[in-house]
Structure 1
Amino acid sequence: MDPLHNAMSCCLYPQERLREESILPFSAFLTDNFGRRHSYLRMSLTEKCNLRCQYCMPEDGVKLTPRSQLLSTSEVLTLARLFVQEGVEKIRLTGGEPLIRPDVLDIIAELRKLEGLKTIAVTTNGMNLARLLPKLKDAGLNLINISLDSLVPAKFEFIVRRKGFHKVIEGIDKAIEMGYNPVKVNCVVMRGLNEDELLDFVALTEKKPLEVRFIEYMPFDGNKWNFKKMVSYQEMLDHIRQQWPNLEKLQTGQTETAKTFKVPGFKGQVGFITSMSDHFCGSCNRLRITADGNLKVCLFGNSEVSLRDVLRSGASNEELLQIIGAAVGRKKKQHAGMFSISQMKNRPMILIGG
């Protein structure tokens, strides 16, 4: 190696040197003790939301973190950059409601510049989507998940404790019109509330390129989780098969959370997120950063480590990576199971970011 090249290689940024020396083909810092490679990062942009969904937020609301303790735009981007350098290929922006963060377009535009980042996704309640979507698409948004738990306006208002059903429908139609395919629609199924609408949701996929995803009701602080309210994947599937016996299962990627099915001839498809009855911990490739900068290696785990505090202490990227790697290394083989989870202390969903 010539002396100039030798000198240059010594001056590589620490994370580049680390990558060059020891962590190809995938970052050791993002690989846990069970060989799971974490290439998908979910970043919460805000704890605030313009809805008050029953399964997400306690009825009396939540105590919001002071703004100064939330990640700033530059801190969000610093962490995103670091994770992408280590092999993250997909970042999903969540909340609260991410589209109420004033700088969401700037964040997406900056993420778009990161080499190696293939997918930028957003999970939204759809209230502001129709208005913002052209700008979101221009900024570089690839994927959209929209939450919708009822197709009956009055029931929708009861579940989310706010008006706005028609805005959400408008947002879904706008996403289809702008070429997003599939547009994912997330529906949390709760017994006695909306399980009678399963067939109506499946019927939506006949003419529209939607993927309706039925999510098993999950326990979080303040949402009054009750095993009797949970409708299992198998029960939902059996009910749908009575109407469409030829429902076919589709092949999915190893790290996909949804079990997906299609009614032959329908434009869209349906999926099931079976976190409670049939966990998919063995193929989990997700990490989460909360709006206040805590890294959660499992949605249902209550252990967190503050990356914000490390960042603000002036730590180097190398020091940050050691802390991230240690947290990932502590990730358990699987979550505790639905009965144990319902007894555990964890944040309300609104403060985790989904």
Structure 2
Amino acid sequence: MAEIAHRQVMSSLFRQARPQALQAGKRLSHPHRTIATAAAPNEVDDTRPTLPSWRPHTIPADPEPSPKRRRIDALRNDPSPKSFSSFLTDNYSREHNYLRISVTERCNLRCLYCMPEEGIQLSPPEHNLTTSEIVYLSELFVKQGVNKIRLTGGEPTVRKDIVSLMQQIGQLRSHGLKELCITTNGISLHRKLDSMVESGLTGVNLSLDTLDPFQFTIMTRRNGYDAVMKSINRILEMNKVGAGIKLKINCVVMKGLNEREVIPFVELGREKDIEVRFIEYMPFDGNKWSENKMVSYDEMLALIRSKYPDVHRVQDHVNDTSKTYKVPGFAGRIGFITSMTHNFCGTCNRLRITSDGNLKVCLFGNTEVSLRDILRESNEGKPFDLEAMEALRQLESDRREGLPGSTGAFGVSERETKLLDVIGMAVKRKEEKHAGIGDLENMKNRPMILIGG
């Protein structure tokens, strides 16, 4: 409780000092860095003052090893050294340390490529995961080696308790979580951003397909351009004073709608530290996809090179979905997500949990398994609220301590063992690569809004 109160006081001091610092054009250090030298050694982590970020939850990490060399304790309470969790490793030696969780089916936009024009039939509320269930599954995955979690939707900011949810997931840093990110349309983000960063937010992928307010209304079937730009500017403002939020803008390019805006999006990064990622239009149920509407990676790159011939490829991380480029002299970068023409399946490290609790091992795969149903078996199929989840955790804790009742293998509960077995079997069934264009456009799959961005 003392640590929480300390963070709240420091955050308050930061907010009070920020306006004056911005007005004076000065960089503001985070309160942790200001007071660390005055605090007792046992009260403040003495490594924190060296960090470039002001986030109170940021923990220094060793340099990221290569996937082949990364080692963790695969199972809880097993002291012997193990390789990466076998439950999260597929038959092609891909280690899945990145989990995307859809926290709602609801959205305040109706983007052409995401949601059918007529909308979608929302699942009954009791079918969707509760906050306690999301946190439980997050912890299960993190203890198996997941070190990055991204919250998606729908639009995650419309979930009423999104900040509280992020706070709880952010506490998994003690178990190995390094990144907590969100994918959003930005409409409501600026109102919740400060609280999210205080909860541990490290990265924002913001969807924006046009820089024209009128075109925005056409492509999203809603108003809101000014609110989105306010969110972008708020992130940039916070980064100037050390927030360290990784900002990426995702732009789906479609012929006849916004391909003429590729160059303006590139130039958005002339002076701003922004990464704009151009995404090939992808087929999902209800989005009326056709190959004639898709602008390919090669076409987009050629268009950019017609004005900026010196644009060049830069080094990507082994698991990056984006092919990254830079225009010399620009502060920002650009990238291309080429799911349709140049798949990046060979290094895929991502798993998805839908808002109704299904595990999808591939965005374009149409096979799913329900983690929700296994989790709720002991609760008569009913959703777990906070009280019921606490009772479940206490029961599992008692069993691990040898009190009456059976336990599963490796000191985990029977429920966790069953969940891990189902997860492991699903991961092992993951294909080497997803289907090609000709098959994808005819394959039955969820609408994107029901998968999670």
Match of 2:109 in 1: 51
Q: How far apart, CA to CA, are the structure 1 residues paired with 2:216 and 2:182?
A: 21
| Secondary structure at 1:199 match in 2 | helix
Q: How far apart, CA to CA, are the structure 1 residues paired with 2:349 and 2:79?
A: 23
Match of 1:344 in 2: 443
1:1-354 correspondence to structure 2 within 5 Å: 15-17=75-77, 20=79, 24-114=82-172, 115-179=175-239, 180-314=244-378, 316-354=415-453
Match of 1:11 in 2: none
Which residue identity does 2:209 align to in structure 1?
Answer: D
Q: How far apart, CA to CA, are the structure 1 residues paired with 2:341 and 2:75?
A: 40
| Secondary structure at 2:248 match in 1 | strand
Match of 1:8 in 2: none
Which residue identity does 1:258 align to in structure 2?
Answer: S
| Secondary structure at 2:87 match in 1 | coil
Conserved in 2, the CA contact under 8 Å of 1:258 and 1:271?
yes
Q: How far apart, CA to CA, are the structure 2 residues paired with 1:299 and 1:93?
A: 15
TM-score after normalising by structure 1: 0.94
Q: How far apart, CA to CA, are the structure 2 residues paired with 1:339 and 1:55?
A: 18
Per-residue deviation at 1:181? 4.9
Question: Which structure 2 residue ranges, 5 or more long, are not aligned?
Answer: 1-73, 379-413
Per-residue deviation at 1:138? 0.7
Q: How far apart, CA to CA, are the structure 2 residues paired with 1:346 and 1:184?
A: 26
Conserved in 1, the CA contact under 8 Å of 2:285 and 2:444?
yes
Per-residue deviation at 1:316? 1.2
Per-residue deviation at 1:182? 4.0
Q: How far apart, CA to CA, are the structure 2 residues paired with 1:101 and 1:53?
A: 19
| Secondary structure at 2:250 match in 1 | strand
Conserved in 2, the CA contact under 8 Å of 1:216 and 1:230?
yes
User: Judging changes above 3 Å, is the alpha-carbon distance between structure 1 residues 55 and 46 closer, same or farther for their aligned structure 2 residues?
Assistant: same
Which residue identity does 2:188 align to in structure 1?
Answer: N
Per-residue deviation at 1:25? 2.4
Per-residue deviation at 1:215? 0.3
Match of 1:10 in 2: none
Conserved in 1, the CA contact under 8 Å of 2:75 and 2:85?
no
Q: How far apart, CA to CA, are the structure 1 residues paired with 2:204 and 2:184?
A: 8
Relative contact order higher in (CA < 8 Å, ≥ 6 apart): 1
- 1:42-101 CA distance string (max 9 Å, x none): 000000000000100000000011110100001000100000000001000000000111
Conserved in 2, the CA contact under 8 Å of 1:15 and 1:317?
no
Q: How far apart, CA to CA, are the structure 1 residues paired with 2:246 and 2:158?
A: 23
User: Judging changes above 3 Å, is the alpha-carbon distance between structure 1 residues 279 and 52 closer, same or farther for their aligned structure 2 residues?
Assistant: same
Q: Percent identity?
A: 54
| Secondary structure at 1:245 match in 2 | coil
Which residue identity does 1:63 align to in structure 2?
Answer: Q
Q: How far apart, CA to CA, are the structure 2 residues paired with 1:20 and 1:60?
A: 54
Which residue identity does 2:88 align to in structure 1?
Answer: L
Match of 2:37 in 1: none
Per-residue deviation at 1:15? 4.7
**Looking at CA atoms only, which structure, 1 or 2, has the larger radius of gyration?**
2
TM-score after normalising by structure 2: 0.74
- The CA RMSD over aligned residues, in Å, is 1.2
Conserved in 2, the CA contact under 8 Å of 1:120 and 1:140?
yes
Match of 2:40 in 1: none
Which residue identity does 1:28 align to in structure 2?
Answer: S
